[in-house]
Amino acid sequence: MTYENIYIEEENAIATITIDRPKKLNALNKQTIAELHEAFKELDEDKETKVIILTGSGEKAFVAGADISEFSDFDVEQGGQLAAKGQELLFDFVENLSTPVIAAVNGFALGGGLELAMSCHFRVASDNAKMGLPEVTLGLIPGYGGTQRLPQLVGKGRAMEMITTAAMVSAEQAQSYGLVNYVVAQEELLALCRKLAGKIANNSSVAIGQAIKAVNAGYNNDLNGYAVEIAAFGNCFGTDDFIEGTSAFLEKRKANFPGS
């Protein structure tokens, strides 16, 4: 597929998706959301891809928010459909992807941009990053999962403060809140993400996919996370990766996971 607003680079089982709308500070419009969905779907189905890194082009922004011009005249029904479709196509889709996704947050991650970063499996930020959910300044609330994922990551009190004040937090604050795992200089951001991705890629992608499913189940009120973990643990015993991993351990050699 040909993409207009994103591009993909692949090397050593690691794929990097870059949102490329620098003049719009990489704001999310309908087309970009659709392109990201297709890119994530394509890479998740590619068994050669073990890890995905998501970032924004330029030095100013990861994603500065949603493209407000697209929905400024929407009514109640259209607004609800916008949130529902966006969550299904991108935000929930990324969260539940079996391939781990690292958000490389370079600069502003606001509104839908922070929501996109939070849907990734974990986040690394540049030291100039600024994060926030400013929707209440527009007479809106976060609609792409922000009211749910932010409290999960930083706690209810911090989330309530960030959402109701619409204030941005620095990269250092975000790290202290548990919103990002690491903060590095911008020129070191992708290098660290690739280093972490390399460590992940050495492990069983099948097991990692099961682990993602089990961890996410703990945050789903409709599921018993422990029961999902038990089933996922059992499923691992039926995989070639389990045979290879245990054989390698017993033979005191490095595992070469087939990923099946």
- Summarised one tens digit per residue, pLDDT across range 221-250 is 999 999 999 999 999 999 999 999 999 999
Q: Which CATH superfamily is domain 6-201 in?
A: 2-enoyl-CoA Hydratase; Chain A, domain 1 (3.90.226.10)
pLDDT of residue 259: 67
Q: How many residues does the chain have?
A: 260
pLDDT band at 1 (very low <50, low <70, confident <90, very high): confident
Separation of first and last alpha carbons in the chain: 26
Structure tokens at 200: 């992940």
Domain positions in the chain: 6-201, 205-250
Q: Please, which residues bridge with residue 16 across strands? A: 9, 53
Three-class SS of residue 217? helix
Active site residue: 135, 187, 229, 251, which one? 135
State mean pLDDT over 125-147. Answer: 98
Catalytic site residue 135? Answer: yes
Active site residue: 115, 161, 172, 187, which one? 115
Whole-number average pLDDT of the chain:
97
pLDDT of residue 214: 98
Query: CA-CA distance, 161 to 156, in Å (whole number)?
Result: 9
pLDDT tens profile 171-180: 999 999 999 9
Of 109, 134, 88, whose CA–CA distance to 26 is shortest?
A: 109
Catalytic site residue 115? Answer: yes
Going edge to edge, which strands form the sheet with 51-56?
6-11, 14-19, 51-56, 101-105, 122-126, 182-184
Of 80, 147, 160, whose CA–CA distance to 112 is shortest?
A: 147
